[in-house]
Structure 1
Amino acid sequence: MTLSLDRPTGARSIDELLAEARSRLVRLSPAQAAARVARGALLVDIRPAAQRALEGEVPGSLIVERNVLEWRFDPASAARLPQATGYDVEVIVLCSEGYTSSLAADALRSLGLTQATDVVGGFVAWQAAGLPTR
């Protein structure tokens, strides 16, 4: 079996998708994110359990794995979390290095959560900045 590397019409690369997503976000440094969390924003860790067990966690972060994120934060979803109080909830998405979180935060913005964003550099940068982890 041979794989075709000819890009179908309209297809975009992951680099293009990531750049588009980030163009719609006001991304936060770890310090900025920590300050927003201190003022009431939700820090949402979307990493799978195995990755959190290996790398560590941010105390107080809300764990919502990526595969269910939109259902848990769509205010119109029957599967929403109690924290999904409306479209104005400030959600700061955290992944390992800040790539998946950009795509996830942009998906939340597409649902109408206009304050959704992510952490530049993800958990790795959070930890390197000396912010609380366990």
Structure 2
Amino acid sequence: MKTPHDLVLAAKQTVLEIPIDKAPAVIAQNDVLIDVREAEEFQSGHLPGAIHMSRGMLEFKLAANPQYQSRDLKITLYCKTSGRAALCAQSLKEMGYSHVSSIAGGFDAWQAAGFHVEKPVAPSFD
């Protein structure tokens, strides 16, 4: 019986993982950067320019939006540490997307590298 860890390791064998030091350059060349974490995680901080599509809804949201249906899109995915993103990248490859990558180490590695994180600004009622 496979564990979730086994599934992640298998996915990482089939998808392109971008080293954190190369991530900003790759993102700049891509069409879309997708945060596949949960909504609460995204709201607490995310990579600049990222859109949110949680892992559970990713395939459905891409399929439903004409802007994201081209299988030639250059897509980079990330999550907290890279496991969910690898599983998502594998799934998108199976759907026929040909230019999919994930960020090695995910959001945690991005922060540890000192890269900018966007955080929503709370409304002021003063």
* 1:115 maps to 2:99: yes
Largest Rg, 1 or 2: 1
Give the aligned partner of residue 80 of structure 1: 65
Q: Is the 8 A contact 2:74 2:100 kept in 1?
A: yes
1:85 shift after superposition: 4.4
- The answer to whether the Cα contact below 8 Å between 1:94 and 1:122 also exists between their aligned partners in 2 is yes
**What is the letter of the counterpart of residue 40 of structure 1?**
N
What is the TM-score when the length of structure 1 is the normalising length?
Answer: 0.79
TM-score (normalizing by structure 2): 0.83
SS of the residue 2:22 aligns to:
helix
Q: Which runs of 4+ in 1 moved over 4 A?
A: none
Deviations 1:43-102 (A, max 9, x none): 101111212233x111211111222101222xxx3x1251x1411111111101111111
Q: Does 1:34 align with 2:27?
A: no
1:57 paired to 2:46:
yes
- Structure 2: any 5+ residue segments left out of the alignment? 119-126
Instruction: Work out the CA distance in 2 between the residues paired with 1:49 and 1:12.
Output: 28
Q: Does 1:19 align with 2:9?
A: yes
Output the aligned Cα RMSD: 1.6
Q: How many residue pairs end up in the alignment? A: 118
SS at match of 1:19: helix
**Among residues 48, 53, 58, which one is paired with 2:38 in the alignment?**
48
Query: Counterpart of 1:80 in structure 2: which amino acid?
Result: N
Higher strand share: 2
> How far apart, in 2, do the equivalents of 1:31 and 1:71 lie?
31
